[in-house]
């Protein structure tokens, strides 16, 4: 039986990855902060069935608790480590990004150093992001596209990527990097735009009222489905050689498309309920972030299975069911 460590197991991807690895027969260990564990134990983690976590071995370690990371890695041998924990919100001002940079870079470096010392044979997955391309000069982007991050988050992910690449090339560790584009699900945190929209559509359709304030509704992204993308993470670590892979659908949609799909599915006209405000605007993007996933498809057979429309409608259905339970 293979043993895997997932950092960030209380997040969206951590949940789906744990579920997927358990279905493959793995022994799954998860790293979470104490508050996350309390939420699991008290059944307070929004929308997550506690049974999933009862099947995992959970360890309370904050990313900045280096002795705690060290103790964990020196005491349990892992076959695979999926490093998903991170401050993951992009839309903060660069000047406010200290915590993001500190959290994301130091934890990645520390985890790699500890693994290299105690179990250099453990395969390491780094959760890279399309935000590493930031403001690219071409679309779609692929593994050769130059990195040009434009946020504290993007900068932290480029640094993590270079750390992983260095441990691969200089120390011979198996470090695989997934450069993942946006991926969503009913477990997406509410500050991200898809979930913000599906929650609002469900709330208004079930009589909760209110208006939805968004930033630029013309902003476009390459949105995929989280359960599809955790399969890609596993494929990357189980490939013959450690490599970097773009994971994307290659299809662009706008924020307005999400509104149209979500509100129509809830029986509403989005134009009557949504307004744009400068508070949520970000820097204008000339070239859209959309990925060419040819390498991972050719080398591992991975491809997305759920469409944008199916995913958004499923998110609205899940939020409607929640609203009805609450009312
Ligand atoms: P989430 O924000 O849903 O989850 C982040 C996880 O990291 C949570 O479990 C969170 O714990 C944990 N975490 C954050 N800070 C700390 C800390 N100081 N100590 C311990 N744990 C911490 O992210 P996703 O699941 O969506 O994403 C997973 C990874 O993939 C992230 O690295 C993200 O940057 C990256 N990524 C995500 C994409 C997406 O579209 N979802 C696309 C590309 C990359 P807690 O519950 O306590 O907050
Ligand atoms: P992103 O996701 O920044 O791409 O990061 P987010 O959902 O926050 O934004 C997507 C796009 O929507 C536009 N937008 C708004 N975004 C938010 N959050 N709120 C709004 O009101 C709003 N209005 C318009 C944004 O400008 C942007 O263009 C996610 C995270 O999961 C990262 O961790 C990950 O690395 C990247 O995806 C790939």
Tell me the pLDDT tens digit for each residue of 264-300: 999 999 999 999 999 999 888 899 999 999 999 999 9
* 101-132 residue pLDDT tens: 999 999 999 999 999 999 999 999 999 999 99
Q: Would you call 129 a catalytic residue per the annotation? A: yes
Taking the centre of ligand 1 as the mean of its atom positions, its distance from the CA of residue 11, in whole angstroms, is: 5
Q: Helix, strand or coil for residue 295?
A: helix
* Rounded mean pLDDT, 44-52: 67
| pTM greater than 0.85 (yes/no) | yes
- Residues lining ligand 1, CB < 6 A? 8, 10-14, 33, 35-36, 62-64, 84-88, 103, 127, 129, 180, 182-183, 189
With left for phi above 0 and alpha for psi between -120 and 50, is residue 282 left, alpha or beta?
beta
Q: What is the mean pLDDT of the chain?
A: 94
The CATH label, of 3.40.630.30, 3.40.50.150, 3.40.640.10, 3.40.50.720, for the domain at 3-183+223-247 is 3.40.50.720
**Whether residue 32 has pLDDT greater than 80:** yes
Taking the centre of ligand 1 as the mean of its atom positions, its distance from the CA of residue 250, in whole angstroms, is 23
What average pLDDT score do residues 185-203 get?
96
> Atom 19 of ligand 2 has which residue's CA nearest to it?
193
Q: Is the pLDDT of residue 45 over 60?
A: no
CB 120 within 8 A of CB 77: no
Ligand 1 pocket test: which of 86, 193, 226 has the largest number of ligand atoms within 8 Å of its C-beta?
Answer: 86
CA 162 to chain centre: 19
- pLDDT, residue 137, reads 95
Q: What span, in angstroms and rounded, lies between the C-alpha atoms of 91 and 167?
A: 30
**Cα separation, 275 vs 249, whole angstroms:** 28
Instruction: Ligand 2 pocket test: pick from 201, 213, 255, 278 the residue with the most ligand atoms within 8 Å of its Cβ.
Output: 255
**What are the structural domain ranges in the chain?**
3-183+223-247, 188-221+251-289+307-326
Q: Among residues 134, 158, 304, 157, which one has the least CA distance to residue 223?
A: 304
For 286, left (φ over 0), alpha (ψ -120 to 50), or beta?
alpha
- Which is it for the CA torsion 90, 92, 93, 94, positive or negative? negative
Is CATH 3.40.50.10680 what the domain over 188-221+251-289+307-326 is classified as, yes or no? no
pLDDT reported for residue 54: 87
């Amino acid at each position: 039986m293979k043993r895997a460590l997932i950092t960030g197991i209380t997040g969206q991807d951590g949940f789906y990855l744990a579920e997927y690895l358990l279905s493959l027969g793995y022994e799954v260990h998860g790293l979470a902060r104490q508050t996350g564990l309390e939420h699991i134990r008290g059944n307070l983690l929004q929308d997550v069935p506690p049974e999933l976590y009862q099947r995992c071995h959970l360890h309370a370690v904050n990313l900045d608790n280096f002795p705690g990371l060290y103790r964990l890695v020196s005491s349990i041998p892992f076959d695979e480590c999926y490093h998903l924990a991170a401050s993951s919100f992009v839309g903060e001002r660069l000047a406010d990004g200290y915590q993001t940079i500190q959290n994301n870079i130091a934890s990645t470096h520390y985890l790699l150093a500890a693994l290299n010392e105690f179990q250099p044979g453990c395969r390491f997955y780094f959760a890279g992001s399309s935000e590493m391309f930031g403001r690219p000069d071409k679309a779609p982007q692929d593994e050769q596209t130059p990195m040009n991050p434009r946020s504290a988050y993007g900068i932290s992910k480029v640094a993590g990527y270079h750390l992983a690449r260095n441990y691969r090339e200089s120390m011979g560790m198996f470090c695989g990097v997934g450069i993942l584009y946006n991926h969503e699900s009913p477990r997406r945190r509410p500050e991200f735009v898809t979930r913000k929209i599906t929650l609002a559509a469900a709330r208004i359709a079930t009589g909760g009222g209110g208006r939805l304030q968004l930033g630029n509704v013309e902003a476009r992204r390459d949105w995929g489905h989280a359960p599809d993308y955790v399969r890609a993470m596993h494929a990357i670590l189980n490939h013959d050689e450690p490599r970097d892979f773009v994971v994307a659908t290659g299809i662009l949609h706008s924020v307005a498309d999400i509104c149209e799909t979500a509100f129509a599915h809830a029986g509403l006209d989005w134009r009557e309920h949504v307004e744009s405000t400068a508070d949520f605007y970000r820097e204008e993007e000339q070239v859209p972030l959309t990925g060419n996933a040819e390498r991972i498809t050719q080398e591992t057979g991975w491809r997305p299975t759920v469409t944008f429309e199916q995913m958004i409608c499923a998110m609205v259905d899940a939020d409607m069911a929640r609203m009805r339970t609450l009312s």
